[in-house]
Structure 1
Amino acid sequence: MRRTTLDLWQSFASKPAGKWAFSRLLCVKAPYFGSIRPRFEELRPQYCEVRMRKRRAVLNHIGTVHAVAMCNMAELAGGTMTEVTIPSTHRWIPKGMTVKYLKMAKTDLVAIATPQSQIDWSAPGEFKVNVVVRDQQAEPVFEALITMWVAPRKSHSGPA
C-alpha cells in the first residue's frame, strides 16, 4: 500500500525531530523547496503551516526576505495542503498564483495555507488556496491566492 503525505506526516510529527525529518523528506521529493529550508509545523486537511528562518540564503540586497523565497514558501504550503485535502482518487497541479507584498519581511516567517472555498470533486476544476505569510510579530507581510487544477487520476486499465 502506498503511503500518503498525510500518513507520513502523522507518523513523523510526534516523534523527536520528526517535523524536521518530514520537511527534509518532502524536499527530497521536490528539491527546489529545499532552498528555503522549510519546517512543517502543522498539516491536516484544509490546513498547512510552514516556517522559514530568515537567513542569508533567502535575503535580498536590502537584507529582507526575498519575494521569490516567500513565493516558494507559499507554493509549498498551498501545494501540501492541497495534497492532503483532495480525495486520493485525484491529482493536482498549480495553475496560477497572484501575490501581494504587504510589507518588508525582516524576521523568520510562517506561512498558513487554507482553502478559499470547496469544490465539487466529481468533475475537474479549480481549487483556490489562500496563503498568508506572517512575521514574528504575527503581522502579514505577504499574501498569495494559488489556483490549483484538480482532476481525477487517470485509470490504468490496459494490459498488465
Structure 2
Amino acid sequence: MSSQSNLLKIWSKCQSLPKGKWLFSKAVCFKAPYFASIKPVVNELKLGYCSATVKNRRAIHNHIGTIHAIAQCNIAELCAGLMVDATVPAKTHRWIPKSMTVNYLAKVDSDMRAVAEIDFPRQWLDKEDLVVPVKVYNSRDELVFTADITMYITAKKR
C-alpha cells in the first residue's frame, strides 16, 4: 500500500491529462471555493514544495490598480495548505492553519508566482507549530510578498 497522500495521487493522475494542472487547480477550488476568487494554477506539488501562479487581472485589483493584499494572502495560504496536505502523513497526523504573518514588499503589478517550501524529510510530532514560509514573486522574478503561515500539526487519535 502506498504511503503517498491522496492529494499527491490526484496531482499525479492529473499530470497525464491534457490541461492537467488547470484541471487539478479547478478541483482544489471546488473543494475550497474561496480560492476560486484568484483563479490559481498549481504548477508543481511534491513533498515539502508547492508553487502556483495567479494572472494579473482587474477582478483582483485594489483601488490603485495593483493586486490586492488579500489576493496575495490567498495564494500564499493555498500554496502552504496544499504543500502541507501533500506532505503531512495523513494516516497519522492532521493539520489546520493557525496564524499568518505577512510582509508586503512591493506593489504587485503583474502576474504572481507563490512558492511554499519546507525542509523534507522531517520528523512529525504531536501538537507542533510548523511555520511554512511562502514567497511571492512578480513576473520579473522580484520578491514582492512573504508570509510565514503557522500550521498546527497534531497526531490523530488511535
TM-score normalised according to structure 1 size: 0.91
Q: 1:100 to 1:117 in 2, by over 3 A?
A: farther
What is the CA-CA distance between 1:116 and the residue it aligns to? 6.4
One of 139, 144, 154 as aligned partner of 1:151: 154
Would you say the 8 A contact 1:39–1:52 is kept in 2? yes
1:119-158 → structure 2 map (5 Å cutoff): 120-155=123-158
Would you say the 8 A contact 1:47–1:112 is kept in 2? yes
Identity %: 45
Would you say the 8 A contact 1:119–1:127 is kept in 2? no
Q: 1:47 to 1:59 in 2, by over 3 A?
A: same
Cα RMSD of the aligned pairs, angstroms, is 1.7
Structure with greater Cα Rg: 1
One of 64, 75, 78 as aligned partner of 1:76: 78
Unaligned 5+ segments in structure 2 are none
Unaligned 5+ segments in structure 1 are 156-160
What is the CA-CA distance between 1:123 and the residue it aligns to? 2.1
Give the paired residue count: 154
Residue identity matched to 2:59: A
SS at match of 1:5: helix
Would you say the 8 A contact 1:115–1:127 is kept in 2? no
2:56 is matched with 54
Q: 1:36 to 1:142 in 2, by over 3 A?
A: same
2:18 is matched with 16
Q: Which runs of 4+ in 1 moved over 2 A?
A: 116-120
